Structure 1
Amino acid sequence: MQTFVRRLLDQFAVDRRVLALAFARMADGIGNSFLIIVIPLYVASGTVGGRTFGLEESMLIGIILSLFGFLNSSFQPATGRLSDRFGRRKPFILIGLAGLAVTNVAYVFAETYLSLVVIRGLQGVSVAFIIPASIALVNELATTQDRGGNMGVYNTFRLVGFGAGPIVAGAVVNLGPYALPVGPTIGGFDAAFAIAAITAVTSYLLVTVLITDPEATRANAGADLSIPIRDRSGSNLLDPIFTLGVASLFMATAIALFATIQPQVNARLEQGSTWFGLQFAAFILAQIILQTPIGRACDRYGRRPFILGGMLLLAPATLVQGFITTSELMFVARLLQGVAGAMVFAPSLALAGDLAGEGESGSKLSVLTMAFGFGIAIGPLSSGALIGYGFAAPFVFGSTLAVLGAALVSTQVEETLETTRPIPVVGDD
């Protein structure tokens, strides 16, 4: 086991605690993304009932799923600031993982729509404890020279977990019930909720055993935790971290437009759900492949060129989706969106981490994670509202946001690495 861990550390060139945290987030990511598939099936199965408050079943499902994102994003600045105030990251991560484990088990006993809403809402608050503290811990375990690579490795494993969950979730439900060697037979839904709980417990154990808070975090607790909008240095109009948060919001909104218009996409491209699933997964695939190498590259060549290039690539990659007429081209467009997202996300976190002072990582980096979460929630709502104006309308909206984000980065964000190498051009010696 020690040899395996040593090889992984050599391969990814990160602190042991960063790799352990990445594995922990991969495990809880599997369980959390499980529920994106399982909850709609659970509601549609007729297992739950009770008052619907005049809402259609599809709207209830949308509320249950979106509530997680809105509460998660809303609470992140508060939990990030608290972790800075106390100078501790690990307890906040453990509180969130414990909340996930308990609420995953609670689904088994849910019998009404309202109980599902409450449980999913509590899960959103639980994850709000995990994300800012985790990102802050990665930031504090890294240095300016390797911060991008550390962020890339962390995000890679997290996305592996998030992408793997939906692939097997439906199969777990459909193959039930399961006869255990000892005890009662377990239904497909109970098995799915049990797996989600087990992944949260696994993450909890990994963090408990392998993660420790850096001493510098405790020593610098209670620093200036304000989140300015205006640039205090006076060189630009907007604060660079706030600007990166706005750009992250625009990026996330653009990439999430695709999620809720499956019927319209399938009808336009004359394709089935399999093709849509591949197109949806293309974004995540590109992220998994590119997060680590791009993170390392931004440690050598600078953060800003990758962020700006990613936002510029995002604009056409989003726009063309409104005019594509074949499934293959839509897959390529989604893949390019993934490339753009990878160019923006890890370098943005690294640049914000460079700017965050000692003991401020939770507060400062939560601006980006909160903005990304809101974008993921706003994107589907935007496409649902705009699709009535024509198939291209949501994608024109998303590409416009990407252009605005690129303009903000270009004018309001400066490079943080003191020495950078020029990005090599293909064909150069």
Structure 2
Amino acid sequence: MRRVVDRLVAPFAVDRRVLALAGARMADGIGNSFLIIVIPLYVTSGTVGGTAFGLGDSTIIGLILSLFGFLNSSFQPFTGRLSDRLGRRKPFILVGLAGLALTNAAYVFAETYVSLLVVRGLQGVSVAFIIPTSVALVNELATAGDRGGNMGVYNTFRLIGFGAGPAVAGAVVNLGPYALPGKVTISGFDAAFYIATITATTSYVLVTVLVSDSESTVANAGADLSIPIRDRSGTNLLDPVFTLGVASLFMATSIALFATIQPEVNARLEQGATWFGLQFAAFIIAQVTLQTPIGRACDLYGRRPFIVAGMVFLIPTTLIQGFITSSVVMFLARLFQGIAAAMVFAPSLALAGDLAGEGESGSKLAVLTMAFGYGIAAGPLSSGVLVRFGFAVPFVFGTVLAALGSILVYTQVEETLEPTAAVPVFGSD
């Protein structure tokens, strides 16, 4: 099996373990994103009973889905720091994947609102074991010369899985029930939960067989793991990793504004659900297409130029969405917003990885992954509240955040990589 992986890894120019980990995250991403579509359908199907705490279906659905993000982001700094202290990444990833597989299977027996909340909450905690340690492991298996490319490949595979799940989840539910050998029949919902369980289990097997910790991680366990807010070097006011975390929070909030206001978008553009789905997918298409080439480019030309340019490009691509009246133009705006985010994400992780000392990757990179997770949770909540004051208001809010993030990155983050080609890029020193 290792020889097969070695042949597959050659075109990507990354460590074999990075590609295996990326494939594992793609598999669990398919199953996890399945649930974003399936859980709302499950709640409204009439199958779920018990007390709803006096809340309507839409509120319960929002609570169930947001609980995952809140717990996931909240626990990441602790799991990242603990993995640094122990000098191990792989055991944490396996614990998270095992928890994800078990909780996916538990949905089959979750027939009350309380049980759904408990299962989804446990999933959030499980994934908190996976995200910071996976990114830290990618960072430690890379070098300064190829860190951006490794981060790009990892994120590309992860996003492919995240984008593929919702595309087929609804069909799996609607085509049920399914007749199995032995006159066994399972519902479309149970089939979706079993598929999610299988993908998480597949990820567990891939990591077990093909992924190992970096030797340097074990050797440097227990380093100084504090995350300062002020810049210790005295060069700038704020610590660069903390600054990148704030910028990631602002960026994620801006890009997540779109998801919650589907009825308002469709009404304004006089379009149906198909157009909205295409517009939503445009962002992911840009991410999947550009993460790897941008990651490799930042290995050649530096991290900071891409991060600054991406944050600046995020300003107009977010603002214009509040004033668009054409479905086609909205699709293009989302596509360009995805390009802006792709210019920020992999280079930011690579720059934070450059700054992380030996044995600190889990703690340092968890700042960015936690901030991004909080932003993805805050964006839909913000747009749901602000859209009542006018369609453009959420996007103006996101534009202000993007502008603040641009200023922070431009003034507080220095380049960590000596460019191999002196190409003047916007925002470079």
Corresponding residue number in structure 1 for 2:100: 100
- Could you list the per-position Cα deviations for residues 166-218 of structure 1 after superposition, in whole angstroms to 9, with x for gaps in the alignment? 00000000000111123511110000000000000000000000011111111
Question: 2:87 and 2:277 mapped to 1: Cα distance?
Answer: 42
After TM superposition, the structure 1 = structure 2 runs for residues 381-392 of structure 1, keeping only pairs within 5 Å, are 381-392=381-392
Q: Which residue matches 2:130?
A: 130
Per the TM alignment, residue 421 of structure 1 is displaced from its structure 2 partner at its CA by 2.0
Q: What residue is the counterpart of 1:37 in the other structure?
A: 37
Provide the residue aligned with 2:54 in structure 1.
54
Structure 1 position 84 matched with structure 2 position 120 = no
Structure 2 letter corresponding to 1:155: N
**Matches of 2:338 and 2:129 in 1, distance apart?**
27
Question: Does the 8 Å CA contact 1:302/1:421 hold for their aligned counterparts?
Answer: no
Q: Per-residue CA shift, 1:70-104, capped at 9, x if unaligned?
A: 10000000000000010000000000000000000
Question: Is residue 150 of structure 2 the alignment partner of residue 150 of structure 1?
Answer: yes
- 2:168 maps to 168
For the Cα contact (< 8 Å) 2:231–2:239, is it kept in 1? yes
Report whether the alignment pairs 1:407 with 2:407.
yes
Q: How does 1:65-76 map to 2 (within 5 A)?
A: 65-76=65-76
**Whole-angstrom CA distance in 2 between matches of 1:112 and 1:44:** 12
1:297 and 2:297 matched: yes
Q: CA deviation at 1:11?
A: 1.0
Whether the 8 Å contact between 2:5 and 2:20 is mirrored in structure 1 is no
Which of structure 1's runs of 4+ aligned residues deviate more than 6 A?
Answer: none
Q: Map 1:259-270 to 2 at 5 A.
A: 259-270=259-270
Q: After TM superposition, list the pairs within 5 Å mapping 1:318-357 onto structure 2.
A: 318-357=318-357
Q: Residue 179 of structure 1: SS of its match in structure 2?
A: strand
Is 1:90–1:212's contact at 8 Å kept on the other side of the alignment?
A: yes
C-alpha separation in 2, matches of 1:49 and 1:103: 19
Q: Which amino acid aligns with 2:251?
A: M
Give yes or no for contact 2:254–2:399 (8 Å, CA) kept in 1.
Answer: yes
Q: Which residue identity is paired with 1:60?
A: I
* Aligned positions of 1:205-224 closer than 5 A: 205-224=205-224
Q: 1:179 aligns to what?
A: 179
Q: Deviations over 1:351-384 (max 9, x none)?
A: 0000000000000000000000000000000000
Maintained 8 Å contact 2:2/2:210: no
Partner in structure 2 of residue 193 of structure 1:
193
**How many percent identity over aligned positions?**
80
Per the alignment, residue 359 of structure 1 pairs with 359
- Contact between 1:298 and 1:306, CA under 8 Å: does it hold in 2? yes
| Alignment length (residue pairs) | 425
2:232 aligns with: 232
Tell me how far apart the structure 1 counterparts of residues 128 and 167 of structure 2 sit (CA, whole Å): 25
Q: CA deviation at 1:54?
A: 1.3
Q: One-letter code of the match for 1:258? A: F
Looking at structure 2, the residues matched to 213 and 319 of structure 1 have their Cα atoms a distance apart, in angstroms, of: 43
For 1:15, the equivalent position in structure 2 comes to 15
Q: Which amino acid aligns with 1:78?
A: F
SS in 2 for 1:402: helix
Residue 271 (structure 1) aligns with: 271
Find the residue that maps to 1:165 and give its secondary structure. helix
Q: Report the residue type matching 2:338 in the other structure.
A: G
Shift of 1:3: 6.7
Deviation string, structure 1 residues 89-135 (Cα, Å, up to 9, x no partner): 00000000000000001100011101101100000000000001000
Are 2:86 and 2:222, in contact at CA under 8 Å, matched by a contact in 1? Answer: yes
Distance 1:284 1:90 in 2: 28
Aligned residue identity for 1:421: A
Q: Please give the secondary structure, in 2, of the residue aligned with 1:349.
A: helix
Distance 1:166 1:147 in 2: 30
Q: Quick one: which amino acid aligns to residue 20 of structure 2?
A: A
Partner of 2:285: 285
- Give SS of 2:259's match: coil
State the one-letter code of the partner of 1:352: A
Q: CA deviation at 1:4?
A: 5.2
Checking the alignment, whether the CA contact within 8 Å between 2:77 and 2:367 is kept in structure 1 is yes
Say if 2:308 and 2:344, in contact at 8 Å, map to a contact too: yes
**Distance in 1 separating the partners of 2:329 and 2:3:** 43
C-alpha distance in 1, partners of 2:423/2:370? 30
What TM-score, normalized to structure 2? Answer: 0.98
How many angstroms does 1:10 deviate by?
1.8
One-letter code of the match for 1:93? I
The alpha-carbon deviation at position 424 of structure 1 amounts to 7.0
Q: Using the alignment, how far apart are the partners of 2:139 and 2:100 within structure 1?
A: 24
How far apart, in 2, do the equivalents of 1:392 and 1:254 lie? 13
CA-to-partner distance for each residue in 1:264-320, whole Å, 9 max, x for gaps? 000000000000000000000000000000000000000000000000000000000
Secondary structure of the residue that 1:185 maps to in structure 2?
strand
* C-alpha separation in 2, matches of 1:66 and 1:306: 31
Amino acid at match of 1:337: Q
Indicate if the aligned counterparts of 2:145 and 2:299 stay in contact, CA closer than 8 A. Answer: yes
**CA deviation map 1:391-417 (0-9, x unaligned):** 000000001100100000000000000
CA distance in 1, matches of 2:90, 2:7: 25
TM-score (norm: length of structure 1): 0.98
Q: Kindly provide the CA deviation profile for residues 28-73 of structure 1, in whole angstroms up to 9, marking residues without a partner as x.
A: 0000000000000000001011111111110000000011001000
CA distance in 2, matches of 1:53, 1:249: 31
Say whether 1:120 aligns with 2:120: yes
CA contact (8 A) 1:76 1:128 kept: yes
Q: Which runs of 5+ in 2 are unaligned?
A: none
Given residue 263 of structure 2, which amino acid in structure 1 is its aligned partner? P
1:248 equivalenced with 2:254 (yes/no): no
